[in-house]
Structure formats: structure tokens, C-alpha cells
Structure 1
Amino acid sequence: NRVTCRDWFQLTLKEGLTVFRDQGFSADMNSAPVKRIEDVALLRASQFSEDAGPMAHPIRPDSYIKMDNFYTVTVYEKGSEIIRLYHTLLGPQGFRKGMDLYFQRHDGQAVTCDDFLAAMADANGEDLSGVGRWYSQAGTPMLTVSTAYDAAKKSFTISTHQVTPPTNGQPDKLPVLIPLKVGLLGPDGQDLPLHLEGKGDLGASTVLRCDAEHNSFTFTDVAVEPVPSLLRGFSAPVKLVVQGQTDDHLRLMFAHDSDPFNRWEAGQRLYMKLLLQLYSAAAGAASSVPLAERCAAAGGVPGELVAAFRAVLEDGKLDGSFKAMAMRLPSMAEIVDRIDEADPVLVWQVRHYVYQQLAQQLRPQLEAAIKANDVPPGTPYEFNAQQCARRVLRNMSESILGSLESPEIQEQLLRRFREATNMTDRMAALTVLCDTDTPGREQALQEFYEVNKDKPLVLLKWLAVQASCALPGNIAKVRALMQHPAFTITTPNCCYSLFLGFARSVNFHAADGSGYEFIGDSVIKMDKINHQVASRIAGAFTTFKQYDKERQAMMVAQLRRIAAVEGLSENVFEIVTKSLQQV
């Protein structure tokens, strides 16, 4: 707070740095690799879709109607990734030098993002002009990497091509400075020593500066053809395409990569390839054929992937928190982002099918993980990294098994809910129970409410878990909750829990359009109560172009209905009109 923003356009100057510092603190307190994975998962699920939609804007917006609409994941989370760029490019000591000069120059002043960049560049004698473009350009850069091994010369060349797609008001984009952190793996999965042409010995990992549309880097003294480990630690907020990357490469990285993020990422890429393959097969077959049969006809879940999943689950050297993250499939938002005009309900069904198959084939191993990480009923809650890891692995294993919807597992979840001595375990069990049509579901929900009915902050969780439920026809339950004593329409967080919780669920995309109509009604109603809340809810429609033609038409119809409301607030007007410009 000793250095503040000159104007609202510079908001990311403070907030990006604050998020970066918060992420660093959480990483130091718990598992740094897992924290990094969590942050990237959030970025991909929320910010990448914002960058691809009508509300795409740079981390430093160049115009706005209502600044309220720019407290966004782009300004905050992508802003923190740009702060991280400096740290990656300059190293910890260089970053500290830049921070020291920044405070020395500007203590007690109101400054701009350019002042921060200048301090970082001047303190280290570096040209960081390519970083400056991240502040002014919207959109997520696509970085395509190709490789070539020359056995005679024992050299390995990495070639990159970057392009940022056009966004509202920015049809043409310039190259940005992308730090590409890389390593090379040998046939045994171990890191090879790096010798970059003209740079000498660089150890096991190095950062390549991709600052032009095309760049090329050649490593020498590479005895065997390596498997490249690219974008280690997610060194830049880009979409990475690796030409020639095979499943064998990914399995090697999933089993051995020394970079925890890329080890996790290899698993995610394997999962994504399978999910896209099954989705394509299911979408191309007759809808009258049961989904399980359509997926099975396409090969189902291959044994190699099940084996890789089992290896992670049984690896005694891996942190429990990392195992839980490695067992999680890519989110619906990430899958939809990879499909042209996606059917979101089918995406959810295919994802659920894969979880069911993993649960069926690995039930003994999942049950063993639960038993190994269990604690006796009534054990006092402990907050430390080790116990957090035990809880998250146990809860993730139970969540996967919960997809089987067997009476035995449901009874186990209800017992876990009742015996839990902390909110983490109680909510984990309740979330899985909520997606099952069993008596235990209603029992658990009622018991949770009775215990917490005088705790409005806790009841926000209770509202959200019901709103996001995947059971068909859940919209009736959500409408009923609007009349429940736990819900107060004038309380913003109640509205976020209920309306946004529902908008992030598969039921929002019901084929009959009832989910879209409900959220449209909610925006119109809320705009008369709280403009900012209404604009947040209206944001649910901004990704309409990602979906199939029928759903696009229904979402656009709701946007037009909202736009026609007399006396619409500027907050909602900005969201709706920018969205309709994409039609």
C-alpha cells in the first residue's frame, strides 16, 4: 500500500502483485507443486474462457463503462502470472533487485504498470519491452513447439511459433515475451545435462526467451534423442501445442518428470486426449444408443491409462495432495475449450463415464488409499501439510468411488459425513452425496442445515453444493431454495452461491433451455436490487459461442431479453451488449 495506482486502469499493478504474494505464501505453507497446479487449473478453467469471450480485455484495460466489471480473473489471476514472468525471467535475486528499486523510486507515490516494468528492467539491465505487451494485449497466446534431433551432430533443436488470436477491438497482435522453461528427458526419464549453443552448460533446466513470432534454440552434446519437458512450472500463461508428442512421451513424463507441474500436466494431456476421443465417438453415434455403449465401442478407457493412474495412486514417494491432483480429470470448461460448438451435457456425461470406469477398475486401490489415510472417528482436527494431504487424497478417492452410486459406497459417505470432525471432510462427503438420488442425500442436507442454521457463512456452502448438483431437473430444487430461510436475495454472497453455483453446473445447459431462462430471470430481478451482482450473473452467458448452435440460440435469446429491459443498469448493459456484438 506504500505504492498505489495512479488510476483504475492500473489496478493489476497492485492486485496482480498481491495475488502473486498470496500464492507464494500458500506454497510455502503447504505443497508448492500442488499450489501451482491449483492456480493454473483456476486460470485455465476461468481466465482462458474470459480471454476467448466478448469480455476479453488486457490485464490493464484501455476503456470501460463500469470499472465494477473489471474486478476479473484477468486483472487478478492473469495479472499475477505476469508478475511471475518477471520472477521466471530474472530469477529470485533479479526479481528482488527490481522490487527494491521499485520501492526506492516510488515509495509514497501513485504510479503505473510501466513504472513497475521500468524498475525491473533497469535494476537488471534487461530489455523487457516484450513483457510490456502483456499489459496491453488481450487474449491467450498459442505457442506451438516443434523439435528435431540430429543423431550425427548430437544436437536437438526446439522451434517455436507464437500467435495470439484477435479479440474485441484488437484484430492484430504483436509477439510477447514468453519465458519457456525447458528440460530434456532421457529414455529412463532422468534429466539430461543441457548445453545450449552459445551458452554453455545450463544444468538440468533453463529458460528460453521466445520474443518473436518464430524462435529457434539448439542444444548440443545430446547423446540420445530426448523427450522435451516444455513450459515447466507453467512458466507463461499460454496454450501449448507440442507437435509430434506421443502417448509414450506423455507416459514417460507422467511417471518420471522431475518437474512436478509437467508430471501432472502429462497426465492431464493423456486424460484430455481420451476425453476428446470418447466425446467425438459419442457425438457421432446415434443418441438412442446408451452412452456407455458408445464410449465402449470407441475403446473405452485403455488399460495403459488405468495402469498410469494406478502407478500414481500406489507411488509411496508422492505427496498425497499431488496424487489427488493427478487423479482429477480436466474440468468441463477445459474440455469445452477444446471442442468446436460443444454439447456441454455430453461433455459432462463422457467425463462422468471415465470416472466410473476408473472407479470400477481401480476400486481395490482406491479403497486401500482411503483406509491408509483414514483416522479413527472423533480424532481431533489438525491443520498441517501432512494431514491436509491425507484428507485430500482420501476425499478424492471417495469422490471417484462415489460415481459408482452403489448403496455400500453411499452408506460409507453418509457415515463419513456424520463422523467428520472438520468442514473439509464434511463438505467433501456432502458434495458427493448431493449428486446421488438416494435417501442419504436428503438426510445429510437436512442434518447439515440443522447444525449450521445460525451460521450464515457456512450456509453459503450448503446453498452452493445444492445449486451445483448434477442430478437431472435440479432447477426445481434451486427455485425452491430461493424461498428457503437460508437464502437472502439482498445478500450478494447468497446470490453468488445459488445463481453462479447453478450457472457452473451441467443443469444450466439443460436441452430445453430452462437453465438459461432461470439465469435470465435472475439477472433481470437482481438488476433492480444490486447492479454489480446482476452483472456477475450475466457473465454466465458470455461464453455462448463455445456451445452447439441450439444452445447458442437460446443463450442469445436470453441476452436479447435482458437487453430489452427498460432501465437496465450500466453494469449489465456493458456485459450484455459486448456479448451480443459477437452474434
Structure 2
Amino acid sequence: MSVNVKRRLDYQPPLYTITNVVMHVQLHATATRIKTVSTVQRVGDHNSPLFLDGEKMQLLSLAVNGEAYNLYSHVEGGISLTEVPDTFELTVETEIDPQNNKALEGLYLSNGVFCTQCEAEGFRRITYFLDRPDVLAKYEVTVSGDKEKYPTLLANGNPIAKGEESDGTHWVTWQDPHPKPCYLFALVAGDFDLLEDSYTTTSGRDVKLELYVDKGKRDKGVFALESLKRAMKWDEDTFGLEYDLDIYMIVAVDFFNMGAMENKGLNVFNSKFVLADQDSATDEDFFNVESVIAHEYFHNWTGNRVTCRDWFQLSLKEGLTVFRDQQFSADMTSALSNRIKHVRVMREHQFAEDASAMSHPIRPDEVIEMNNFYTVTVYDKGAEVIRMFHTLLGADGFRKGMDEYFRRHDGQAVTCDDFVAAMQTATERDLSHFAKWYSQSGTPVVGVSRMYDKQKRTLHISLSQHTPATANQQEKEPLYIPVAFECIDDTGKHYPDDDGLIKDGLVILDKPSVSLMFSDVPESCLPVVLGNFSAPVKVDNPLSAKELLQIFRFADDPFNRWDAMQSLYDWCITQIELDKSVPDSVWKALADVIAAEKDNHELLGECLSIPSFETLCQTRVGVDVAALASARQSFCAQFASELQSALLTVWNGFSSVSYTYKQTDVNARRCKNVALGHLARTADGEALIEKQFAEADNMTDSLGALRAAQSGSAEVFNSLMTAFEQKWNHDPLVLDKWFALNATTEREDILAHITMLKSHPQFTMGNPNRVRALIGSFAFYNPVGFHQPDGSGYQYVTDYLLELDQHNPQVAARIVTPLTQWQNYADKHQQKMKAQLTRLVNHEGLSKDVFEKVSKSLAYEKSE
């Protein structure tokens, strides 16, 4: 395959820009016509041709200043116009086929709804244009279509005119007064139910709020609309940022590649992040709705008003906005549970990405397909880097930096360096060393060593840092790492260091190593490192089970208490891997923990959760999947057996109350369901599961019973799953949960079972949610099934990807990820995984999206 590698350092400013766009979109299922009139200006003194991006469409006509124009040629990726004036009006007429656009990029028609997705490079599937984020224009868009089929016609901005025609069509004109890049262009047409509300900003402006959902689902949008108002208020209170249009619209659609899209004034959402009620949505669903609603709203400033100069700067808007939505969610729900949720994502997925061939800095250096930039590194590690800014500068300093950022760059397309510069200027702090986080890939490892002198009663602790070589970078430099640090003894007393290196609970590790000395301290003193996950690093801090329990008892930071328990479970599983037993003292201590924290439902629920297989993989190399999975299963079984009485007390301690989505109830339900998951492995489990499933008045408890049943009797699980499917077969979003449970269940005939599920009436390859629920869940979260010794799991997923890639390369490129992370597994797994990757890379017609990830993965062997 011939590929064009794009590099960040090759960036050149545009030779032409577009300042104003007037579009008329005449909707038709297979022959939509778009007339685009753009004001084009030459930038600088040159005679270069004007290149316009364009693909997957028919060019009907081209005119310059109203006259037919023939001085153009079709070239790879678009058209090239020569001898154009310095400033002119360019008219482009194109025709596209939305109904057969199965990639769901550009303008497409699915399930009776016209919808757009233009980020990153979808606008070029609608018209020939300068499809790059640093070209900002004002848009006026008229959408026309059949009034009966598409009574709702939406685009960016404010509606300024509408009308009807005698042929049964109608039209609406929308005007967006704010210059924007074309990736933020949006158009939606269909027949929806509408929820309406309003919001009055701090300055007294009234904003009309509209939420469009599928017919009959109006009640399921109420929570999303309330979440939007909370996000608007929070952004005003926290960052002083108000909304800037007269109307804010959200549309929920079933067929969407992403979670949601922040198009200016018209956010398009995957319906799973809008629709929620207690019968059909879990507590996690409610959380995600509020979080994603907020995320897309916050983009209005961090992404729209200030946008990216180029796609290599994607973390400028995404990392920053993820951090903002995390802060919002922590304020709306719980700081601890939110932090744990985000750290799990880092440890399960981002660390794995850093250790694979797709390792890249949060500001990448090169790419083949821009869609492959949408990674956990850019988003989640990017958010952790922003969080470190917040940690180092404090809330007030961070706010000053944000204010300066908007003052300098409102209405501009800028870079990550511009953000760092604004933060640095506003706080008068040198951030040049810290900025290396933007350019260096990989996961640093912070090593902790200690030496105690019994005679002098002194404790010497050394912190060191080392970042392993990654696929794209062999040489690493020391980073600027804020390490949250406590030193505690076995009575809970905390100690300062002699030299005052611990300031505000932080040690700055900005060189290969830092030493701390503690005088007149007992031998039981322990270093407690990386509180609240103060930096996106791994920690090598050898501690015994007794010492980990000491941290749990006495650490100030509740995150550290949870983290100590996770490390203890990892230690126990390692003992089993080494054919050693878990000491009785550990089981007694765990029983004491459960008794002591019985009323602290949030912490207890988190601490009863055993690290996932995916998290355990990141603390090991050369993973033998069957051996690790067996050791984890063995520990879970012992956990249930040894602690059955304590767990049963926990489960019985929750009285049946009517469902409400508030944090205390969320904490209680989570704790109860985690306990039930353990009890499923005991003799009482079957009866408890059936009781909870029968009595549940909400989706959280229904699904909790089903998840618990995965670990118990197959007969009970199959019976409950049948009942669940019969009850919910009318609701595709709920059935996605059912598909995912099926896909992640350990069973010998899992591949045949998945094949059967693919023929289910609600499953379709054309819907990304269904594909992610079934095939994605299997590949990512069924390690025993996916990593079958004979390689059949790898082959099964590869066969499906070859078919999916022909229709939707974006989704295929995401699901191929587990195959590309072969490096951390035992050789017997590696060879079979690479064999399937070789099948993919040699397949004629493979998309750039999948080719990039697969070819890089196979090439990674050369840098070992």
C-alpha cells in the first residue's frame, strides 16, 4: 500500500484561506446536492495553485466570481486550481450518496436520519474545501428536504429564515457568527421528539436549549438536559465562561462512530450518551451522560472558540477538555470514585498503548490516518498532563493561566506550545522542563528505594525515574514529575523530611533521582508515593503485604488507601502464580478491613474490587494469559470463600429503597453489587443472584445480578440472560449490555456463541455500538476467549475486521488494538497474534486506518 506519512514538523501555514461560506444543501437519500459559495483569499505573495481537499463525491460544476472555471485538475486527494485571483468567490457544486456512506464520515443517512461527522477530515466528503483546522470561516447554511420525512432541519448557529415550497419540501437557513474550522460543521435532518428548556447566563442572556431524540424517547432525555444546565453553570462559576449563541442544540442518533461531537451550537451525540432512565440505564450510564454532555459543552471554549492549528495539537483541546469534564464530574458526584475511574483507564489502556507499537507523545509527531489520533494517550494522558499543571500552579494559578489563554487566543487556531506559554506568563513560572511531557512518549517508572539505619534511627529514601524506550523514541530524558508523598509509621504518625523537599505534600522529581532523609523515625516508617495519581507514571515501590495494609490503615489520601489494597491483591495473585499460598494473616486483615469500613460504602466498594486482568498485565511482562487468568480466578475464589461471612454481612446490610441517582445511593449500589460478584462463587450465590434479579427496580441492580451470574452457575446465568433479552429486545441500547455480557463470558464455545449472536435481529455491522458491544467487548475484555491457545480467537476477530474494514475503517481500527499489543504476552501468544496481523497487512484494499496500526505493530519487532 502506498502511504503518505504526515509529520508535525512539516506543518506549513495555508497558502489560501476562506473567510465566508454560504451553503445550500438539497437533501436526497442517494443524490444530495451541495452548492458551496466561499470567499477565498490568497495568503502571502506567491503564485501557487489552490488545492482543495475532496473525496467520495461527484463534482458537478466549478465557478470563479460567477464564471465557469476550467483551469483545474483532479489530483490525489482533491483538485488543484491554477491562475486564481488574489481574492475571489468560489462556487462548487457537488453530489454525494449519503445512504451508501457506511463509513459514517461526512454526510450520511442512517435509520432515516441525515447526520454529519466532519472531525477529523469528513468535510472533504461533502464539498471540495480547505479541510484543515487552521482555516476559520463564518458559515450561512440553508438546508432543504422533504417536509414529511424530515420535518427537522438543523445546522450550526442561529436560525434566521425558513420557508416551504409547493413540491412538499421545506428549508431553514442557519447562520453561525463565529468563525470556525470546517470540522465543526454540522447538519442533521430527521423526525424527532423535542425537549425544550432555557438557561439564563450570568450576564443575563437567555439561551434556548433544544434536545432532539428518537420518537417515543422524550422522557429519556430529561436527565441529559438537566446535565447541560449544570455544566453551563459550572463553567461560568469555575472558569468564567459563558455560552455565546442564542440557541444550543443536542441531537441523539443511533449510528455514530464517536461518543459525541462538539459542533458549534449543534452537538451530535451517540444516543447512548443522552438517553437514560432508571429502568434502562445504570448508574454508570447516568454518570457517562452527564460527563459527556459536559465534555462537549466545555468544548465551546476549549476547542471551538480556541481550536487546534493542526491535528498534531489535538490534545490541546481534548486533553484540556477531558480534564475539565473530570473536574466537573468530581464536583457533581465524588472526587474519589472519579479519580479511581480515570486511573483505571490509564492503567488498563493507556499504559498498554504506551508499551505498544502505537506509543506516541500526547502531541504526536507523525501519522498516516488522522482518525488514529483519537487515542487514550491524546485524551486521557493528555488530561493527566493538564492535571499536573493544576497541581503545580494551584487552582488560582491555573485559572489565571486559562484566562490568559483565552485573552490571547480567542478566535484563533493555536498549538500546545501556545497553551504552555499562556500558563507560564500568567503565573511567572518556568514550565519549559515540564513541557517535555508533550514531546516524550512512554510511561515513566518511578523507583522507590529505602535504607534504614537502626542505630541512628534515620531513613534514607531515594526516588528515581526511568522511561523505557518506546517504538518511536529510543532515548529518553528525565521529566518533571510531581510526586505526592507521605511518610507514615505503623501508628499513623506522619513525618517531614530533614531538608524540606516535601512541599505541600509533593516531591518534585525533575532529574534522574532525588534523595530524602528522615531523622529520628521508627523502622516502621514507609514512603507512600503518588497520592491521587499525581503523575501518569508507574511506581516500583517494593512493599510487603503487612506494609500495604499499614498504608491502607493510616494514609491520609483515600486514593492511596484504595491503591494499597489494589497492590495487595496484585501481590496475592503473584503468590498464586508462584505456587505459594496467601497467608492467613492477609485474610484476617481483609476481614478486619471490611468490618471497619462497613459504613464507608464508597471506599469499601472500590476496595472490594479485584484488579482487572488488563490492569494486572501492566505489572507483568511475557504474560501467559491462561496462567494469569487462572491465578486471578483462584484468588477471587479464595477471596469469596475466606471472606464469605463478611461479604454476606455487607450484602445483607443494604435495605431495599426506591431508586434515586444520588451519590450516596450510587456508592451503596456499587458496594452491594461488588459484594454480590464475590458471593456468586459461594454456595449461597445462586439464590442471592436470583433474588436480586427478581427484585431489582433499576438497571444497575439487574445488570449487577447478571454480572455476578457470570462467575456462578452457567444454568442460572443462561436463564437470567434469556429473561433479560426477552424483556429488553425492543431497546437496542439495553441489548448492547446483553451483547457485551455474552461476549465477555468464559465458555468453551464462545466463538460459536458470538457467531450466533451476530444473527440476532438487533445486531448489525452498520451500527458501531452493536459492533463495539459484541466484537469489541470480546477482543478487549474476554482474555481467555480472545487468547485461546490455538489462536482461533485472534483469527475470529481478524476475519471480522477484514469485513468491517470495507464499511467502517474507523471502528475497525479501534477494535484491532488488542491484536497490536502483542508485545507484552508470552511468545506462544505473540507468534499467533502476529500471524493474524500479517494477514491483515497483506489484505488488498485495507484501509489506511487499519494499515497504519497493523504495519507499525509488525515493524515494532525491529526495534526490540
State TM-score, norm by structure 2: 0.62
- Structure 1: state its 5+ residue gaps: 282-297
Letter matched to residue 497 of structure 1:
A
Picking from 367, 374, 388, the partner of 2:655 is: 374
- Residues 1:217 and 1:114: Cα distance change in structure 2 (over 3 Å): farther
What is the rounded CA distance, in whole Å, between the counterparts of 1:225 and 1:353 in structure 2? Answer: 32
Picking from 738, 753, 759, the partner of 1:477 is: 753
Q: What is the CA distance between 1:176 and its match in structure 2?
A: 0.8
1:85-96 → structure 2 map (5 Å cutoff): 85-96=388-399
Picking from 122, 134, 141, the partner of 2:425 is: 122
Write out per-residue CA displacement over residues 279-316 of structure 1, whole angstroms, 9 at most, x where no aligned residue.
133xxxxxxxxxxxxxxxx22x3212212321221124
What is the rounded CA distance, in whole Å, between the counterparts of 1:439 and 1:116 in structure 2? Answer: 57
Relative contact order (C-alpha < 8 Å, sep 6+): which is higher? 1
Who is 1:352 aligned against? Answer: 633
- Residues 1:344 and 1:374: Cα distance change in structure 2 (over 3 Å): farther
What is the rounded CA distance, in whole Å, between the counterparts of 1:97 and 1:470 in structure 2? Answer: 52
Q: What is the CA distance between 1:226 and its match in structure 2?
A: 2.3
Q: What is the CA distance between 1:44 and its match in structure 2?
A: 0.2
**Matching of residue 57 in structure 1 with residue 360 in structure 2:** yes
Q: What is the CA distance between 1:21 and its match in structure 2?
A: 1.5
Name the count of aligned residue pairs.
Answer: 556
Q: What is the CA distance between 1:225 and its match in structure 2?
A: 6.0
Classify the secondary structure of the residue corresponding to 1:582. helix
Classify the secondary structure of the residue corresponding to 2:727. helix
Write out per-residue CA displacement over residues 383-403 of structure 1, whole angstroms, 9 at most, x where no aligned residue.
111111110111000001112
Who is 2:284 aligned against? Answer: none
What is the rounded CA distance, in whole Å, between the counterparts of 1:155 and 1:318 in structure 2? Answer: 38
**Matching of residue 197 in structure 1 with residue 512 in structure 2:** no
What is the rounded CA distance, in whole Å, between the counterparts of 2:650 and 2:554 in structure 1? Answer: 21
Picking from 330, 340, 362, the partner of 2:611 is: 330
**Matching of residue 84 in structure 1 with residue 387 in structure 2:** yes
Write out per-residue CA displacement over residues 497-522 of structure 1, whole angstroms, 9 at most, x where no aligned residue.
11111112021111121111110101
Query: Normalized per residue, which structure has more helix?
Result: 1
- Structure 1 residues 142-151 or 482-491, which shifts more? 142-151
- Structure 1 residues 301-310 or 508-517, which shifts more? 301-310
Who is 1:416 aligned against? Answer: 692
Who is 1:292 aligned against? Answer: none
Is the 1:197–1:220 contact (alpha carbons within 8 Å) kept by the matching residues of 2? no
What is the rounded CA distance, in whole Å, between the counterparts of 1:317 and 1:459 in structure 2? Answer: 34
Q: What is the CA distance between 1:221 and its match in structure 2?
A: 6.7
1:92-491 → structure 2 map (5 Å cutoff): 92-149=395-452, 156-192=459-495, 194=496, 196-197=498-499, 206-219=505-518, 226-243=525-542, 245-281=543-579, 298-299=580-581, 301-316=582-597, 319-375=600-656, 379-404=657-682, 406=683, 408-491=684-767
What is the rounded CA distance, in whole Å, between the counterparts of 1:70 and 1:225 in structure 2? Answer: 47
Classify the secondary structure of the residue corresponding to 1:49. helix
Is the 1:523–1:538 contact (alpha carbons within 8 Å) kept by the matching residues of 2? yes
What is the rounded CA distance, in whole Å, between the counterparts of 1:361 and 1:220 in structure 2? Answer: 41
**Matching of residue 577 in structure 1 with residue 855 in structure 2:** yes
- Residues 1:330 and 1:45: Cα distance change in structure 2 (over 3 Å): same
Classify the secondary structure of the residue corresponding to 2:361. coil
Is the 2:778–2:786 contact (alpha carbons within 8 Å) kept by the matching residues of 1? yes
User: Highest CA radius of gyration, 1 or 2?
Assistant: 2
Letter matched to residue 729 of structure 2:
K
Classify the secondary structure of the residue corresponding to 2:486. strand
Classify the secondary structure of the residue corresponding to 1:233. helix
What is the rounded CA distance, in whole Å, between the counterparts of 1:149 and 1:440 in structure 2? Answer: 55
Query: Normalized per residue, which structure has more strand?
Result: 2
- Structure 2: state its 5+ residue gaps: 1-300
Write out per-residue CA displacement over residues 254-299 of structure 1, whole angstroms, 9 at most, x where no aligned residue.
1221111111111112211221221133xxxxxxxxxxxxxxxx22
Is the 1:89–1:207 contact (alpha carbons within 8 Å) kept by the matching residues of 2? no
What is the rounded CA distance, in whole Å, between the counterparts of 1:128 and 1:280 in structure 2? Answer: 45
- Structure 1 residues 445-454 or 49-58, which shifts more? 445-454
Who is 1:285 aligned against? Answer: none
Picking from 808, 818, 828, the partner of 1:540 is: 818
- Residues 1:481 and 1:167: Cα distance change in structure 2 (over 3 Å): same
Letter matched to residue 564 of structure 1:
N
Picking from 74, 83, 96, the partner of 2:377 is: 74
- Residues 1:555 and 1:316: Cα distance change in structure 2 (over 3 Å): closer
- Residues 1:316 and 1:324: Cα distance change in structure 2 (over 3 Å): closer
What is the rounded CA distance, in whole Å, between the counterparts of 2:590 and 2:333 in structure 1? Answer: 24
Write out per-residue CA displacement over residues 517-564 of structure 1, whole angstroms, 9 at most, x where no aligned residue.
110101101011111111112112011122222211111111111111
What is the rounded CA distance, in whole Å, between the counterparts of 2:610 and 2:597 in structure 1? Answer: 21
Q: What is the CA distance between 1:155 and its match in structure 2?
A: 5.4
- Residues 1:512 and 1:439: Cα distance change in structure 2 (over 3 Å): same
Is the 1:276–1:335 contact (alpha carbons within 8 Å) kept by the matching residues of 2? no
Classify the secondary structure of the residue corresponding to 1:138. coil
Letter matched to residue 566 of structure 1:
E
Who is 1:30 aligned against? Answer: 333
Write out per-residue CA displacement over residues 163-220 of structure 1, whole angstroms, 9 at most, x where no aligned residue.
111112211011110001111113302333x255257x95xx5211111112223456
How large is the Cα RMSD of the aligned pairs? 2.0
Is the 1:374–1:394 contact (alpha carbons within 8 Å) kept by the matching residues of 2? no
Is the 2:598–2:650 contact (alpha carbons within 8 Å) kept by the matching residues of 1? no
Classify the secondary structure of the residue corresponding to 1:215. strand
What is the rounded CA distance, in whole Å, between the counterparts of 1:142 and 1:261 in structure 2? Answer: 19
What is the rounded CA distance, in whole Å, between the counterparts of 1:254 and 1:157 in structure 2? Answer: 22
Write out per-residue CA displacement over residues 128-164 of structure 1, whole angstroms, 9 at most, x where no aligned residue.
2222111111100011122345677765443222111
Is the 2:555–2:561 contact (alpha carbons within 8 Å) kept by the matching residues of 1? yes
What is the rounded CA distance, in whole Å, between the counterparts of 2:651 and 2:382 in structure 1? Answer: 38
Q: What is the CA distance between 1:124 and its match in structure 2?
A: 1.9
Letter matched to residue 329 of structure 1:
I
- Residues 1:115 and 1:540: Cα distance change in structure 2 (over 3 Å): same
What is the rounded CA distance, in whole Å, between the counterparts of 2:544 and 2:707 in structure 1? Answer: 36
What is the rounded CA distance, in whole Å, between the counterparts of 1:223 and 1:187 in structure 2? Answer: 9
Letter matched to residue 443 of structure 1:
S
Q: What is the CA distance between 1:224 and its match in structure 2?
A: 7.0
Is the 2:459–2:519 contact (alpha carbons within 8 Å) kept by the matching residues of 1? yes
Is the 1:156–1:220 contact (alpha carbons within 8 Å) kept by the matching residues of 2? yes
- Structure 1 residues 487-496 or 155-164, which shifts more? 155-164
What is the rounded CA distance, in whole Å, between the counterparts of 1:185 and 1:477 in structure 2? Answer: 52
- Residues 1:370 and 1:225: Cα distance change in structure 2 (over 3 Å): closer
State TM-score, norm by structure 1: 0.91
Q: What is the CA distance between 1:495 and its match in structure 2?
A: 0.6
